[in-house]
Amino acid sequence: MSDTAIKRIAALPCWQTKVSIEELSGGMTNLNFKVTDGTEQYVVRIGEDDPIHLISRVNEVASCEAAFQIGVSPELIYHEAGILVVRFIDGKVFDEADVRNDNNLHRIVELLRSFHRQMPQHFNQIAVLFWVFQVLRHYQNLLARGDSAYASRLPELARIASELEIAVGPVEIVFGHNDLLPANFIDDGERIWLIDFDYAGFNSPLFDLSNLASNNELDAVQETAMLEQYYGVVPETARLASYHAMKCASLLRETLWSMVSELYSRVDMDFSDYTQKNLVRFEAVYADYKNNYH
């Protein structure tokens, strides 16, 4: 635990009493702490702007505020440069199996439908576009300039990314979360909360849906049901093809994110293992896409 971080948190002007501070696990781009202030509990996130991963904390603050306004995320009670303080949610932090539970998945899809369409009404900041294919180009450039162990694979991966971008085709634009890892959902017994807006911004709903599926290994039946629930109609072949191309792009983004993190991240995490895990997932999903939709 960082003594510097602890001292900085303890000195924040938002507390009413002397606080107790406990480090939380997780957080791939920031440090997280649970703070008890009298009878109230909060989560403090420490993280600066991260140009490597295109993270703007100003955008994160605006997303947190808007998400609270629409009732899907806990209240942001204080922020300053590099620090956010939000109310602690006492609930079950999801893992992949929780997301795959059909009842939970149905609730999550409804949450996303609301989030996608209501966020723009409350988001008060310069609009950020999270276009996964531009993110992939950014990561490709970083890896090409760095001493990446995957340098020999970059031309092939760039070709695949270009192929997928064409295959996705024209898209609807909504406000996306863009990082639907299972731990970003918390169930308090009454509703599911959505947290962590590092990558939030305008995007196609297909990215959040495919990102949810790929990060949590939904099966084909669940994916089809998810798309039918979200759009209100049985998905046609064209939409399925676009969705599966975006799913490949989502996994490729997670893979390149990890490759870049191997070079630049200061977070204590085995990024090499995470890269291999996602590379295997990407290759399997891309092979399935080629066999069935291309």
Q: Which of these three, 87, 116, 136, is where a domain ends?
A: 87
Instruction: Please tell me whether residues 77 and 222 are part of one structural domain.
Output: no
Q: Residue 200's domain spans which residues?
A: 92-293
At residue 30 the predicted structure's pLDDT band, cuts being 50, 70 and 90, is confident
Rounded mean pLDDT of 171-179? 97
Whether the predicted pLDDT of 37 surpasses 70: yes
Instruction: Note whether 32 and 23 are within 8 A (CB).
Output: yes
Same domain, 65 and 132: no
> Which residues lie closer than 8 Å to 262 by C-beta, 6 or more apart?
148, 149, 271, 272, 275
Task: Specify the 3-state DSSP secondary structure of 32.
Answer: strand
Examine the pLDDT at 289 and tell me if it is beyond 90: yes
Question: Is the CB of residue 41 less than 8 Å from the CB of residue 34?
Answer: yes
Residue 225 pLDDT: 97
Same domain, 182 and 60: no
Q: Which domain CATH number covers 267?
A: 3.90.1200.10
pLDDT digits (tens, 9 = 90+) for 70-128: 999 999 999 999 999 999 999 999 999 999 999 999 999 999 999 999 999 999 999 99
Residues 68 and 185 in one domain: no
Average of per-residue pLDDT across 151-161 = 97
Is residue 1 pLDDT above 60, yes or no? no
Q: Is residue 247 a contact partner of residue 213, using CB atoms and an 8 Å limit?
A: yes
Position 25 scores a pLDDT of 79
Alpha helices in the chain (DSSP H): 3-10, 57-69, 96-100, 102-118, 132-145, 154-168, 205-216, 220-231, 237-264, 271-293
Q: Are residues 53 and 194 in the same domain?
A: no
CB 135 within 8 A of CB 252: no
Give the per-residue pLDDT at 265: 84
Does 78 share its domain with 182? no
Looking at 87, 118, 143, which one is the last position of a domain? 87
What amino acid occupies position 98? D
39: domain CATH number is 3.30.200.20
Q: Among all chains, which residue has been given the structure tokens 């898209």?
A: 171
Least confident of 12-16, 28-32, 44-48, 229-233: 28-32
Give yes or no: residues 120 and 7 share one domain.
no
Q: Are residues 47 and 184 in the same domain?
A: no
Q: What is the pLDDT of residue 294?
A: 74
Same-domain pairing of 58 and 134: no
Q: Could you tell me if 47 and 164 lie in one domain?
A: no
Instruction: Evaluate if residue 26 carries a pLDDT over 90.
Output: no
| Mean pLDDT along residues 258-270 | 87
pLDDT of amino acid 83: 96
- pTM for the complete prediction? 0.94
Region 232-239 average pLDDT: 96
Q: Which pLDDT does position 221 carry in this prediction? A: 97
Q: Does 15 share its domain with 153?
A: no
Mean pLDDT value of segment 11-16: 97
Are both 138 and 187 inside the same structural domain? yes
Q: What is residue 29's predicted lDDT score, i.e. its pLDDT?
A: 75
Q: Is residue 159 packed enough to be buried (19+ CB in 10 Å), middle (13-18) or exposed (0-12)?
A: exposed
Residue where one domain finishes, among candidates 65, 87, 109: 87
Beta partners for residue 31, in sequence order: 46
- Count of domains forming the chain: 2
Tell me: pLDDT of 268 over 90.
no
When pLDDT is averaged across residues 4-28 and rounded to a whole number, the result is 91
What's the mean pLDDT when you consider all of the chain?
95
If you search the block for the tokens 């495919």, which residue do you land on? Answer: 210
CA R_g for the chain = 19
Across 120-149, b (16+ Cβ under 10 Å) vs e yields eeebeeeebebbbbebbbbbbebbeeeebe
What's the mean pLDDT in 199-220?
97
The three-class DSSP label of residue 197 is: coil
Listed in sequence order, the residues at least 6 apart from 168 whose beta carbon sits closer than 8 Å to its beta carbon are 204, 206, 242, 245, 246, 249
